[in-house]
Amino acid sequence: MRRMGTRVADGVEAFLAHLAVERGSAANTLRSYTTDLDRYRAHLQERGIDDLAAVTEADVTDFVAALRSGEAPLAASSAARALAAVRGLHRFATRDGLVPKDVARAVTPPALPRRLPRTLTVDQVEQLLAGCVGDGPTALRDRALLELLYSTGARISEAVGLDLDDLDPGSRTVLLRGKGGKQRIVPVGRPALAAVDAYLVRARPGLATAGRGTPALLLNARGARLSRQSAWHALRAAADTAGLDPTAVSPHTLRHCFATHLMAGGADVRVVQELLGHASVTTTQVYTHVTVDALREVYATAHPRALGTGRTGRTGHR
């Protein structure tokens, strides 16, 4: 047994009390932390460690590795959550003078699997756009919004941030203001321009009369700039009307569709990067994985040897 100081069990108890009393953590959070720290105590006990000050960085690292192996390994996300609890414990113990050094600070969580963005097929996008039915002002506005999102790959915040002067129908482009105030000029397709024109002629003037005069392109019923939340509700309402699964639609859905459909159509990844306003091409390359999945599906159905059951197609070459 290593030198005794603050017992691990006492440190854990003090930390959980701190979370409950001083931080006011939710009951679910406390239960999760208790479960994860119980695992941690068991791990240290197996190593003969009962002194919090005797724990080393290697002990914490091995704990994370142990969670990811064995007969019932945890998912990377669950192991990362457990490490967060352990790091919280050691940070608390260091701050309160229970141990001289935070040995868990430099331990990194396991890499989480990269989730591919959810996208819709081209037909599903058409179905979604058709969900904006009616000739009323809000229906025309919502159709213009959705058409712009899909045509330009704009974030919802960028779309609702558009002013009238940002759209140039003559050159068929729009000026988008992205993260960090960065601006980019993006082409706009003819269907989107037609939807915006219908909105500007038949809907916006009426909506504007309720407001105090704003340069915003997209207005709400009070004549003010449309909010991100209202735009999000418009997207969900269109999906519901179109009969699409609402869980398959998010604020970024049409942005993801824009990128994925461009890549599937042969667009260069760096062009898509510029259109999306990504600072690094690495961020954009996630869409190449989506495209590879599509290519793999075509290969599996078209190549005679793709599944290992077709006849060998000999061409005479060796």
**Higher per-residue pLDDT: 264 or 135:** 135
Confidence band of 118 (pLDDT split at 50, 70, 90): confident
Select from 215, 233, 235 the least CA-distant residue to 225: 215
The per-residue DSSP string of 116-133 comes to PPP---HHHHHHHHTT--
Ranges of beta strands (E only) in the chain are 167-168, 173-177, 183-187
d(CA 144, CA 138): 10
Domains and CATH numbers, the chain: 8-95 (1.10.150), 122-300 (1.10.443.10)
Q: Quote the pTM value.
A: 0.59
Rg for the chain (alpha carbons), in Å? 28
What amino acid is encoded at 122 in this protein?
V
Q: Give the catalytic positions in this structure.
A: 155, 179, 252, 255, 278, 287
The percent of residues above 90 in pLDDT, for the chain, comes to 63
Q: How far is CA 68 from CA 39, 72, 84, 122, in A?
A: 13, 8, 15, 39
pLDDT of residue 266: 84
| Helix, coil or strand: residue 307 | coil
Q: Work out the burial of residue 64: count CB atoms within 10 Å of its CB; fewer than 13 is exposed, 13-18 middle, 19 or more buried.
A: buried
**Higher per-residue pLDDT: 145 or 25:** 145
